[in-house]
Structure 1
């Protein structure tokens, strides 16, 4: 899991509002609407216990507070435990949490204690960002480029394939690219022979991975990656619709998936 910083999580409510506006422009639905359509679920004020975890690199500043803000934004009743780790888990259960949210350096999970459903942030993030771009109202094209085919990008590519898109894929790691071609039948994209796309899903931890040669006018770029995959100059030049937010969209996907 990509490690966020306190800086990434500043003004999380403002970031969520901006993301909601971007998703609405692209799909005609807000984030809740996309999640409901994708999973067929709706929150009913489920109580969410957020457990800080100290293992690995330790607790990220603002992370638990940001999850608290995100869960409430999406209609859940949430609290952050006073204790971390196993003690925090025990505290959450004792305080009648129905869903547990907790993360270490490798896994960020949601676990619904009532129905046993469990969700991992990485595939849930890939799927929801893919779902958003698949609902793009601005084009009837079924061609989409997926840049980054790891733990977020691969589930996103699989979601596009499942929905009948013609998926082009690229990853600097040739093993990941070959795995995706073999398992999903995606079309390998050659950066040395570029073409323009109206829809791009980017899932890498690198900045400015999207060159001008592949961007069409009014292109929609859906990217959970941090830092941003496209420069501000190119965004303005091509009137790019950018869906990007560090934590909330993926968390909403996790929560709706376990209801």
Structure 2
């Protein structure tokens, strides 16, 4: 899991309404609509359920990021679900959540951020869910992805989730990763499922040929002004943002990027 910083999350809880309004303006869909699209479910079916959700602070590894659990809880609460942050941490937090009747647990350490439905055993990993969620948002922003060329940058957990989602939406997918074996593993896995993905080995050249980008890598400032045309669309779950700060304005409403919201919403709907 990408290590977030306090500055990345400290305004989430107080800005959810404005965030969702902007998301509708850019994609035509709300956060709940994008997450439902990502998991292939109808909103009515998802909201037939009223689970209790617990977010558990975890201190292992580098420890708790200030504001992280509160931000996760605020996103889930905004979506309309009963959510608590446990008073206890780590194993004690899990015990507290279960004893108090929680149905779904959210918890994160340095390596994984997961949602777990303790009734069904369903687990959703933030990497895969974030990839699926951003593709669902990109699909709405582009008014469909079928037969459109998409460059996926990054073949890690988020990129793997995104690649499968792109293929299922009918996109023509190319992937670039600085580590060629990662691209090869991704294309091999999708090939087993009947999807063809092209491997790119020159990022600069690949960027020059694509107008729809999904940036799932943790490198900053890799997408420059010369790569941004009037019809360029970018979904960027990667942190830091791969677009140079001075060039964000060139994209206007054609950039999808947030630190947690789409990933958390998709994780929740994934385990319902």
Find 1:136's aligned residue among 137, 141, 158.
Answer: 141
**TM-score relative to the length of structure 2:** 0.87
| Residue 7 of structure 1, CA deviation | 1.1
The 1:145/1:22 distance shift into structure 2, 3 A limit, reads farther
2 CA distance for matches of 1:257 and 1:130? 15
1 or 2, which has the higher helix percentage? 2
| Residue 248 of structure 1, CA deviation | 1.7
Q: How many residues align?
A: 259
1 CA distance for matches of 2:93 and 2:168? 39
| Residue 181 of structure 1, CA deviation | 3.2
Contact 2:174 2:198 in 1 (8 A): yes
Match of 1:174 in 2: 180
1 CA distance for matches of 2:253 and 2:69? 32
Find 1:187's aligned residue among 198, 201, 204.
Answer: 198
Match of 2:213 in 1: 200
Mapping for residues 34-183 of structure 1, pairs under 5 Å? 34-39=34-39, 40=41, 41-43=45-47, 44-137=49-142, 142-183=148-189
2 CA distance for matches of 1:257 and 1:138? 23
2 CA distance for matches of 1:191 and 1:203? 13
2 CA distance for matches of 1:69 and 1:238? 28
Mapping for residues 203-222 of structure 1, pairs under 5 Å? 203-222=216-235
Contact 1:196 1:216 in 2 (8 A): no
SS at match of 1:216: coil
Match of 2:193 in 1: none
Contact 1:169 1:188 in 2 (8 A): yes
SS at match of 1:50: strand
SS at match of 2:8: coil
| Residue 116 of structure 1, CA deviation | 2.3
Contact 2:211 2:232 in 1 (8 A): yes
| Residue 19 of structure 1, CA deviation | 4.1
Mapping for residues 228-243 of structure 1, pairs under 5 Å? 228-239=241-252, 241-243=254-256
Give 5+ residue unaligned stretches, structure 2: 191-195
2 CA distance for matches of 1:19 and 1:153? 24
Contact 1:8 1:246 in 2 (8 A): yes
